[in-house]
Each structure stands twice: as structure tokens, then as C-alpha cells.
Structure 1
Amino acid sequence: MNCQKLELLGGGAHGIVFLVQYYTSPTCVSVKLVVKSSKVKFSDSIWEEGQILKKFRGCPYIIQCFGDDTSVEHGNNVYNLLLEYVPGETLQRLINSRERSISESEASLYAYQLLKGIQEVHRLGFVHCDLKPNNVLLFPCKCGCGLNQLKIGDFRLSKVAGEEGHRGALLYTSPKSLFCGMHEAPKDIWAIGCMVAEMMVGESPWRFSSSCNSNDDNKLALDMAFNEPQVPTDISDCAKDFVMRCFERNPNVRWSADKLLNHPFVANNNNSLLCQTWEDRQVLNNRLFKTEEWISRFDLFSTPISSCTCGCCRRDETNEHGIV
């Protein structure tokens, strides 16, 4: 089996992301993967994300993880997490790219997929904790219809339901989790409501008043404590009702993913029939990558520095991860 890091895609506080060429065995089919890498001593966050993603193997609405690897790269002990490659962009970029808002019918399809993904997360006892458009990745539909398959990614902040943890992005955090610090399934539902509303109007339902500067998190938090998010007025009553079910202030009353999937805004044959084709494709991908097996390797990426031709693997001592 051959696996090579081709291109540096980006990075942050928790690791560096590479595009990887992967050759399956024994057929030697070439496919692309994404790998999150970090020095072993800084890799706790990436490792924990992998252990969570492992539990969602096979879900077509969650980014798939195919395994991990520990290797020596350019003098550093490096931990690598192998993830599904997404050829599209993020939901945030899609929203920003539209001159007009996303239509209700398209938003309905995306809401359906978000609920299907988060339904699996909650079924297994987890809370994503950081649902936002930047953490939702798109697979463009190959039929040319302009629609996208959505997959939820970035589980670094995910918790077992009821655990304390980081709040995630403020604009998508429910008031209860913001002020009590506990994370339960209704928090993710609130975030889905925020995203669906944003899709249909092109901006956050927390529209900033003159007294609430968008760069001031403290003022925004106070606004969230005492006010309600603004539900779009120029959408259908059905869409309004869906968003309001997500924005129930009392988390015990807020609708669950199971219940929302039966809401008329998303429960239609068009959504289920289109998504069935994507679910079938996921089954084929699972067979290709054998995702019933967790690939754990050593030295998968161990390569002498002289053999690196991609130009992205230069060692930089100023980078705490020490691998680029």
C-alpha cells in the first residue's frame, strides 16, 4: 500500500491538513484522502476526534474516518488521521457565494441531511457542540442539478451528552448551553435552526442592533440572554414553524432530530429519494475502503526528506507541529 502527502491544505492550533494520494490494495485503485497531522506530543485533540468519528462509520451524512498512523517524518514523530476527501467547499462559502438567499426547497434538502447526520450523533450519545456552516462540507451532485450532499465534519469539540466543554461558535450556541456550560442534544438542534435560517436569508438570525457590535462577544452574549433570534419574515409559514421548533428556548421543549425529520418542511419524497442515491453511494465507498476495519498503521508516511517533491513538507522550526 502506498500513501503520499501531496499538498498542504491548511492548518490551525490542533494540526495541519494535507491532501493525500492513497492506493488501495490489492487493486491499487488511486483515491484521494485528507490527513490531519500533528506531532505526537500535540496530537491528543486529533486522536480524540478520530475515536469519535470511528463510531459514526458508515453514516453518509458525517465525514468518514478510515484510520490513523504514527510515523517518523523529517525527524518528527507524527500522528496522522485519515479522513474522507471532500471535493466541494463548505456550507458557509455556499451561503456567501449566493447573490440571493438559498431557496426554501434547497434549504429543506440541506436541513434534512443535517438532521439525519445529527440524529446518528445523538443516537450514539454524543453532542457535536460546534455545528456551524464552516463545519459542514459539500459534495456537489454529479447530475449537474446544482444541489449538494452535506456531511458534518470537525468533531474536535464533541462531547458525550451532559459533559462540560467549550461552547463552540457563539452565533450558533443556544442560550442554555452558553450560560450553564453543559452540552446536551438540544444544543445541536438550536445550531441547525440558526443555519437553516441563515441559508434562507443570507445572514445570522442574530442581526446586530446598534447596541450590539458584531465584534463584541460579551454584548452579543447579553443580547442572546435577553432577546430572541429573529426568524425570517419573508419565508413560508411551514419554514417559520420549523425554525421556531429549533429555537424553543426551553431545551426540554425543543424538538429532537427524530421529531423534526417528520416536520413537513423536510419530510417529503424529493428529499428522501435524492438522498437515497447518496446513501447507496456511501455503501459502495464503505466496501472500497473497508470501513468496518479501523486502519491503524505505523510508518505509513515515513519518507526521507530528499524524496519529497510536493514542496509543502519543508520543516519549519517555528511551527509547533514541526512537520511543515
Structure 2
Amino acid sequence: MEWSRGHTIGHGSSATVSIATRREGCRVFAAKSSELCNSESLQREQRILSSLCSPYVVNFKGSDITMENNKLYYNLFMEYMPFGTLSSEINRHGGRLDEAKIKTYTRQIVQGLEYIHSKGLVHCDIKCSNILIGTEGAKIGDLGCAKSVVDPRISGTPMLMAPEAVRGEDQGCASDIWSLGCTIIEMAKGEAAWPNLLDPFCVLYHIAYSGEVPEIPWFLSEEGKDFLGKCLRWNPEERCTATQLLNHPFLNSKVESNSTSPTSILEHGFWSCVEEGSHTTRTTSLGDLPPDRVRMLGLCSEESCWASWNDDGNWITIRGNECDSWGEGVFRNFGSETASSSNGGLDLKELVESNVSGRIWSKQ
């Protein structure tokens, strides 16, 4: 296929996403490209994406290898989603979405997850920046971390991982449901599901071992709260499946007029929420972390697997002035991929004491 590369719309540590145009017919699509010598992950994504066909998953358009600037590049072609990511959509609506939009996008995401899970796959990285918005609504994108349900690797964005995945134990379909819950909270509140724990390592320890779940927004309807509660069960066996969630009343009812986000700063509940969120952040002394218990986010043993604080592997959306809420503050350094090692996990205490980067890497 003859095609032309247009301007860049996003980039990461080893790949770049550009608008591309087919020379015959002027059809527009997205090209995700990386140097051929570093394209193993992209080729794995191509194999997974090419096996899928759903109106709720970004469509595969093809792949090829090109020579550019005396270098060979592997290119993955995908459907172009003109309105960017769900993060961008949240920003366009003033930092949060109303419950009607949350319902619409959530239903489409769950339909995509039901399809992916039916194929024996786990997405592993459901979050606002990996949900793309087009003329027909939301579609699941970026399957760079996706894997078979029997694959023992652990991957994804640490702050949105389910407790069992953070502990390095398992990452199955139920883990995607947990990440879905965190994504819904971000749609509703415009901030991360764990906003009050500022030390990222303490956040991970808290997720893995506290037995607690993220706070459900008080202003959601009772159906919305119940839906989130079924996504954010600490025990993965107690979480609803995507199929069960599609039958939940939250996705099949209209929003009541009093169930949307606060519309005035004079609302009592709004200030109650602010006051609760202003309490002193819970901290954990490094000396209190049990060194024999905190094993997570698999890591290979070689020192070369550790990243530096300056190694930014996050996907960066560069459409206009858009900003991913996960790129704010201390969470900026947490990347979108990790992978398990033969030892089954990572010692968080060792990680902290070694002053290792928030971007946790492992060889694929």
C-alpha cells in the first residue's frame, strides 16, 4: 500500500503515532511506528490487533516496513480516531464528565472488554488515555500490553492496576474490570482514583495490601455507585464480569436530574468532599514496609532493567493543548508498561531504597 506520513499526534519511548494518508483515495488512518530493531512489542500488538474485529476496539488496517532516513521502520496501521483520547474528552468538558456521558462511554468500553475477554485476552492497561473517541463514540485502543489470560506476565500502568496484579500474583480479566472502575472515577472526578496518597511507592503498597478500594464519588447516582462497587471489589473473584456489567441497571437507565456532578460550589456535599480530601495524607515509613511481603510488578534481575528518573516512557498526546491527567504531579513518572520476571514480583522496599525511577521497566 502506498501511503504518506503526516504530522505526529503522539509518541512514546520507542514508537511514534502519526496521521497517515493512503495516496489512492486519500483515506486517513493512524500509523504507529518504531525502528525495526526495536519493534518486538509493536509486532506483538499487531498480531493481537489483527485478530480482533469489533466496533468497540480500534480497527486494524495493516502493517508494513519502510526505509526512512536510512533506517528501517515497522509500521502498524490503525483506524484514526479524530477526537483523541478520553482524557482529552474530559478536558474538553471542563475536567469531568456528566453521568450521561459516563454511562455512554462506560457501556462502549465494557462492550469492548466483553469482546476482548471472549477471545481469551486481557487488555492490561485500561485507562482514559487508552480509550479513543471517534464519531461513533469510544473504542479501546493501545493493545501494547495485551496478553493471553494464561500468560503470567504483569504489565500496565501501576496506579490503575488491581491489587493482585500489583502484588505480582495474577492479571486476568478481573484486573481489567478493576482498571475500568478507576477509569470511571477519573471520568467523574477528573482526577486519579487514588488522589490523596502522594508518595507513589506508598500508593502501590496501599493498593496491594490495604484491603481498601478507591473512594466512590458521592455525587453519582445510587446505580452508578453500585456499578462501581461491583468493579472495585478487592477480591478479584467477587468482581463482576464484563457480560454481567452490561446487564447492570446503571448502563440501562436514564440519569436522574439529581444524580449528576455538583453544579455549584454552594452545594453542601461538595464542600464535605473537599474537606475530606484536605486531610493530612496517610504516609508509611519505609522502615515499616515488610521486606518479605511486598513483591510486585515483575522485574528482571539485571541492573540494566532499572530505569532512570529521566526516562519518560509515557505515551504523550500532543494534539493541541491536551493534557493527560496521569501526567500531573508525582504520577508523571509512572509509565504504561511493566512485565513480570521469573521471580514473580518486585521488592518495593528495595525499589524505594535504591531510589529507582517511577517508570518501572522490564525486558519483554
The bucket for the TM-score relative to the shorter chain is: 0.7 to 0.9
Task: Provide the residue aligned with 1:174 in structure 2.
Answer: 162
* Contact 2:83 2:89 (C-alpha < 8 Å) held by counterparts: no
Shift of the 232–4 alpha-carbon distance from structure 1 to 2, 3 Å rule, reads same
Q: CA deviation at 1:89?
A: 1.7
1:266 is paired with a residue whose SS is helix
- Please give the alpha-carbon distance, in whole angstroms, between the structure 1 residues aligned to 2:84 and 2:214: 27
Task: Provide the residue aligned with 1:217 in structure 2.
Answer: 200
Runs of 4+ in 1 over 3 A off after TM superposition: none
When you count strand as a share of all residues, which structure comes out higher?
1
| Structure 2 residue identity aligned to 1:11 | H
Shift of the 247–10 alpha-carbon distance from structure 1 to 2, 3 Å rule, reads closer
Q: CA deviation at 1:181?
A: 4.0
- Please give the alpha-carbon distance, in whole angstroms, between the structure 2 residues aligned to 1:241 and 1:269: 15
Task: Provide the residue aligned with 1:45 in structure 2.
Answer: 41
Q: CA deviation at 1:171?
A: 2.5
1:252 is paired with a residue whose SS is helix
1:176 is paired with a residue whose SS is helix
Tell me the alpha carbon deviations over residues 148-181 of structure 1, each in whole angstroms, 9 at most, x when there is no partner. Answer: x001111111111132224311221111111034
- Percent identity over the alignment is 30
Tell me the alpha carbon deviations over residues 22-44 of structure 1, each in whole angstroms, 9 at most, x when there is no partner. Answer: 14xxxx42211111122211111
- Please give the alpha-carbon distance, in whole angstroms, between the structure 1 residues aligned to 2:40 and 2:195: 37
- Please give the alpha-carbon distance, in whole angstroms, between the structure 1 residues aligned to 2:193 and 2:72: 45
* Contact 1:163 1:182 (C-alpha < 8 Å) held by counterparts: no
* Contact 1:167 1:178 (C-alpha < 8 Å) held by counterparts: no
Shift of the 177–40 alpha-carbon distance from structure 1 to 2, 3 Å rule, reads same
Q: CA deviation at 1:101?
A: 3.0
Task: Provide the residue aligned with 1:17 in structure 2.
Answer: 17
Of 98, 107, 110, the residue aligned with 2:102 is: 107
Task: Provide the residue aligned with 2:32 in structure 1.
Answer: 36
Of 82, 90, 103, the residue aligned with 1:87 is: 82
* Contact 1:62 1:153 (C-alpha < 8 Å) held by counterparts: yes
Task: Provide the residue aligned with 1:302 in structure 2.
Answer: none
Q: CA deviation at 1:11?
A: 2.0
Task: Provide the residue aligned with 2:61 in structure 1.
Answer: 66
- Please give the alpha-carbon distance, in whole angstroms, between the structure 1 residues aligned to 2:73 and 2:35: 4
Unaligned runs of 5+ in 1: 142-148, 271-324
Q: TM-score, normalising length from structure 2?
A: 0.66
| Structure 1 residue identity aligned to 2:11 | G
2:236 is paired with a residue whose SS is coil
Superposed CA RMSD in Å reads 1.9
Task: Provide the residue aligned with 2:142 in structure 1.
Answer: 154
Of 214, 218, 222, the residue aligned with 1:233 is: 218
| Structure 2 residue identity aligned to 1:48 | R
Tell me the alpha carbon deviations over residues 60-101 of structure 1, each in whole angstroms, 9 at most, x when there is no partner. Answer: 111111111122223222211111111112111222333363
- Please give the alpha-carbon distance, in whole angstroms, between the structure 2 residues aligned to 1:124 and 1:251: 20
Task: Provide the residue aligned with 1:2 in structure 2.
Answer: 2
Q: CA deviation at 1:221?
A: 1.0
Shift of the 244–55 alpha-carbon distance from structure 1 to 2, 3 Å rule, reads same
Unaligned runs of 5+ in 2: 256-364
